Amino acid sequence: MIVRQLAARQGRQFLALRRTPVASRFFSSEIPTPPPMEPVVDTPLPEAEPEKIIEEIVPVAPAEPGQASWKKEATHRHRFNRMGTSMKVAYNPDSLLQNPPKPSDITLELLLASQTHLGHSTSRWNPQNSRYIFGIREGVHIISLDVTAAYLRRAAKVVEEVAARGGLILFAGTRKGQKQSVVRAAELARGYHLFERWIPGSLTNGQQILGHCETKVVNALDEELPDFKADLADRPPLKPDLVVCLNPLENVVLLHECGLNNVPTIGIIDTDADPTRVTYPIPSNDDSLRATTLIAGILGRAGEAGQERRMAMAKEGKTTYEPITAQALRLDPFTGTAPGSEQAKKQN
Amino acid sequence: MAGHRSNCIAQAMQLLRLPSSTSRVTVSRAPSHLRPPRTQTRTYATSEEAVSPAAPEIDFSTSSSRSPARIVPASPAYFSGSPRFIDHVLKLEKLQTKYSGLPTMEASEAPRMAWFKLAQFRDFVGEPVPTKKYKSLVKILQRLNRIQPAAVPAEVRSTLESFLRPGNPYAQQLAPPTVDESGRARGRGKRKESSAVVHLVEGEGEILVNGRSLVDVFKRVHDRESALWALRCTQRLDKYNAWINVRGGGVTGQAEAITLATARALLVHEPALKPVLRKAGVISVDARRVERKKPGHVKARKMPTWVKR
């Protein structure tokens, strides 16, 4: 073992040994020999970079022995990871979440890789989906990818236009594991997310269910106008202008309420779902998290583009919607009279 | 396969004809708003089409859109019905993933924090939060609290502090019990109806229970073993003398009350033994008591046999 440590070599353990030249201890002779690891010490090591990264993670805090050892360990780890082979093309499971593709990046390869083509067992099909179905393989319906791409592009356009017109876009995905993608899409599109149960009646009985939830008045640049806080008290609860539903099969109530309230919906329609339940179907596999994450990400990116367009217009002083005037905001939403005059009437 | 496919397409086209034709009509009638108009008349629940059809497509060609324009929800979780709670959860989860690499310590070593009680938390967010969801939030808080104090980011610290209830109930710490001037450590323990007081002195392993020998009081070997288990498992049987007073209950209860009292007294002498004793199951209190008998029952829960008349 000792002899092996003396030999020059490359490897990850090499660096670890550098600071503790154990080998010298084992020599019986008293002659001071130079530490055997010296040639390695001379090699330039990129010290600055790992330090920087660690300081990003660790905020200003007094160093303690426990923390110091952890820091040292992290530095070592970082240095070792830089050695050896470098992984150029590696699959990052979170890349669809962190950096979802744009609608212009939709390719059939991407859709295929994301498993959007896999439908359900042929016995479970809804014949209304036959125009989206490419064929049957091993008893499973295969969804036509070019149809998926076309419908997905259309849905992305819809999301973008609604976002550009200042509409409220709700992303709903209530299956297990869809939370992250739904939140991310809402974050990108500056929309709203729903990853737990849709409370039945949120649209049809909104005052009871969403009445206590806060709203705000914003100007064209999306800056809050706190002056109108008091005027929002007796306004009816808000309704989304577009609902994107990642699992329409489980959200029958949501889609029904959207239908009653004339809220357009976008839904991922698998081969067993009813495409007429949504306004804009996207024929795709809704059981694969990768597929739903991809679709949510693309729609989120589309919403982002729409919002950017709207902000650019707002900076020029243009809006795609009619802004409410301060006076209209102050009026009673039901009677259309000023609040002061109504009070006066009651007193009389 | 081919035959099946052609058949299904024909079948589907027939099915499709109805809904698509109805939706076309509504599209052409869409007015100038972003949200399309309601065209469907209300149906009875018993009628065939109880499920409403999806809203018609949006007509983007018209320039002006909906009003009122920009009253927007304050939180992205508005439509969930409990936006403030979900905002808190998402914020904490974000912190957790961001700082998951920081060094942590054992949960037992982490500083003790008095999080909001459920009712207080409900007041804090102003929403009816279910118990289970609040528990999952507290779990995230506890994970963040396990980050080593020196490495805790200011962001995490301030967030955690916002979930603390006012006043610090863990501020005053009881002074740890000490050995008295004559070298005695006192420990008390209870089990079932029995309670025991143990005075533990360094010595040669002599034990007196209510002035009698251990063998005299506990006839069963099992009881003797369990009474002295704290000393036995730490190999301190011959290093301490114990003078024990035990009263109430039966033999098992007395023996196990002595176990707990001895362990507590031993901890006064040697606090470092705590993990060993904890593992031996000697310092956990068994708080079970006999359940009272209820009227209408034969015992605490047993119901009288059902008799036909």
Q: Which one of A55, A157, A179, A192 makes the best mutation probe of the B interface by having the most chain B beta carbons within 10 Å? A: A192
Contact between B65 and A320 using a beta-carbon 8 Å cutoff: yes
Residue B46 C-alpha, separation from nearest chain A C-alpha, in angstroms: 16
**How close does chain B come to A116, measured CA to CA in Å?**
20
Most A CBs within 10 Å, among B27, B79, B159, to test the A interface? B79
Q: Do A70 and B103 touch (CB under 8 A)?
A: yes
List chain A pLDDT tens, one digit each, 348 residues: 444 444 444 445 544 444 444 443 343 444 444 444 444 444 444 444 444 444 444 444 444 556 677 888 888 888 887 788 877 888 888 999 999 999 999 999 999 999 999 999 999 999 999 999 999 999 999 999 999 999 999 999 999 999 998 899 999 999 999 999 999 999 999 999 999 999 999 999 999 999 999 999 888 888 888 877 877 877 889 999 999 999 999 999 999 999 999 999 999 999 999 999 999 999 999 999 999 999 999 999 999 999 999 999 888 877 776 666 666 666 666 666 665 554 444 444
Chain A positions touching B60 (Cβ under 8 A) are 161, 165
Selecting from A167, A240, A262 the residue whose C-beta is nearest the C-beta of B79 gives A240
Residues found in chain A: 348
**Mean pLDDT along residues B33-37:** 52
Separation of alpha carbons A13 and A31, rounded Å: 27
CA-atom Rg of chain B in angstroms = 35
Of the candidates A69, A79, A74, which has an alpha carbon nearest to the alpha carbon of residue A56?
A74
Phi then psi for residue B205, to 5 deg, are 100, 25
- pLDDT for the residue numbered B168: 81
Q: What are B250-309's pLDDT values in tens digits?
A: 999 999 999 999 999 999 999 999 999 999 999 999 999 999 999 999 999 999 999 998
Is the torsion defined by CA of B118, B121, B127, B131 positive or negative? negative
B61 touches chain A (CB under 8 A): no
**pLDDT, chain B, mean:** 84
- CA distances to A255, B24, B66, B216 from B18, in Å: 19, 10, 30, 94
Domain ranges of chain A: 2-81, 95-330
Chain A residues with CB under 8 Å of B53 CB are: 259, 276-277
Q: For residue B113, give the amino acid letter.
A: M
Contacts of A74 in chain B (CB under 8 A): 101
The structure tokens 């498992």 sit at B233
Higher pLDDT, B139 or A8: B139
Asked if residues B99 and A56 have their Cβ atoms less than 8 Å apart, the reply is no
Chain A residue numbers with beta carbons less than 8 Å from the beta carbon of B38 are 260-262
CB contact under 8 A, B103 and A66: yes
The helix/strand/coil state of B167 is: coil
Euclidean distance between CA atoms A92 and A82, whole angstroms = 18
* Listed residue (A309, A308, A298) closest to A103, CA to CA: A298
* Beta carbons of A322 and B153 less than 8 Å apart: no
Query: Can you give the three-state secondary structure of chain A, one letter per residue?
Result: CHHHHHCCCCCHHHHHHHCCCHHHHHCCCCCCCCCCCHHHHHCCCCCHHHHHHHHHHCCCCCCCHHHHHHHHHHHHHHHHHCCCCCCCCCCCCCHHHHCCCCHHHCCHHHHHHCCCCEEEEHHHCCHHHHHHEEEEECCEEEECHHHHHHHHHHHHHHHHHHHHCCCCEEEECCCCCCHHHHHHHHHHHCCEEECCCCCCCCCCCHHHHHCCCCEEEECCCCCECHHHHHHHCCCCCCCCCEEEECCCCCCHHHHHHHHHCCCCEEEEECCCCCHHHCCEEEECCCCCHHHHHHHHHHHHHHHHHHHHHHHHHHHCCCCCCCCCCHHHHHCCCCCCCCHHHHHHHHHC
> Which uninterrupted H or E stretch holds B135?
helix B131-145
Two tokens at B218? 């506990």
Which residue among A59, A166, A170 sits closest to B154, beta carbon to beta carbon?
Answer: A59
By C-alpha distance, which of A10, A186, A78 is closest to B80? A186
Residue with more model confidence, B21 or B199: B199
Is the pTM value of this prediction over 0.90?
no
Cβ atoms of B83 and B75 closer than 8 Å? yes
pLDDT at B26: 31
The CA distance from A81 to the nearest CA of chain B, in Å, is: 16
Q: Please say whether the beta carbons of A281 and A267 come within 8 A.
A: yes
Q: In whole angstroms, what is the distance from residue A283 CA to residue A150 CA?
A: 10
pLDDT at position B121 over 50: yes
Task: List chain B residues with CB under 8 Å of A263.
Answer: 35, 55
**Nearest CA distance, A90 vs chain B (angstrom):** 21
Q: Give just the sign of the alpha carbon dihedral A257, A258, A259, A263.
A: positive
The label of the residue with tokens 């979930």 reads B163
ipTM of this predicted structure: 0.73
Cβ-nearest to B12 among A58, A127, A323: A127
Distance of CA A265 to the CA centre of its chain: 19
Per DSSP bridges, beta strands A280-283 and A265-269 are parallel
**DSSP 3-state of B247:** strand
Instruction: Please count the residue pairs, one from chain A and one from chain B, whose beta carbons lie less than 8 angstroms apart.
Output: 215
Residue B205 φ/ψ region, left for φ over 0, alpha for ψ in the -120 to 50 degree band, beta for the rest: left
pLDDT at residue A330, as a whole number? 67
Q: How far apart are CA A102 and CA A39, in angstroms?
A: 50
Rounded Cα distance between A132 and A154, Å, is 15
In this complex, the residue of B11, B55, B65 whose CB is nearest that of residue A262 is B55
How many other CB atoms are there within 10 angstroms of residue B152's CB atom?
A: 20
Q: Would you tell me the crossing angle of helices B83-98 and B131-145 to the nearest 10 degrees?
A: 30
Percentage of chain B beyond pLDDT 70 is: 81
Tell me whether residues A128 and B12 touch, CB distance under 8 A.
Answer: yes
Cβ <8 Å between A214 and B83: yes
Q: What is the pLDDT of residue A332?
A: 62
pLDDT at B231 over 80: yes
| Distance, CA of B62 to CA of B67 (rounded, Å) | 14
Burial A164-188 (b: 16+ CB within 10 A, else e): bbbbbbbbbbbbeebbbbbbbbbbb
Instruction: List domains and CATH numbers for chain B.
Output: 79-161 (no CATH), 185-280 (3.30.230.10)
Report residue B34's pLDDT band, with 50, 70 and 90 as the boundaries: low
Q: Could you give the strand order of the β-sheet that contains B185-191, starting from the edge strand earlier in sequence? A: B185-191, B194-202, B240-247, B207-209, B212-213
- The amino acid occupying position A40 is V
* Residue B75 near chain A (CB below 8 Å): yes
* Chain A nearest C-alpha distance from B65 (Å): 5
- Measured in angstroms, the CA of A131 and the nearest CA of chain B are apart by 7
Residue in B with minimal Cα distance to A139:
B1
At the topology level, CATH places domain A95-330 in Rossmann fold (3.40.50)
Residues 6+ apart with CB under 8 A from A328: B68
A 10 A CB-CB count for B27 gives: 14
Distance (Å, whole) CA A281 – CA A265: 8
Of A122-136, B25-39, B42-56, B155-169, minimum mean pLDDT range: B25-39
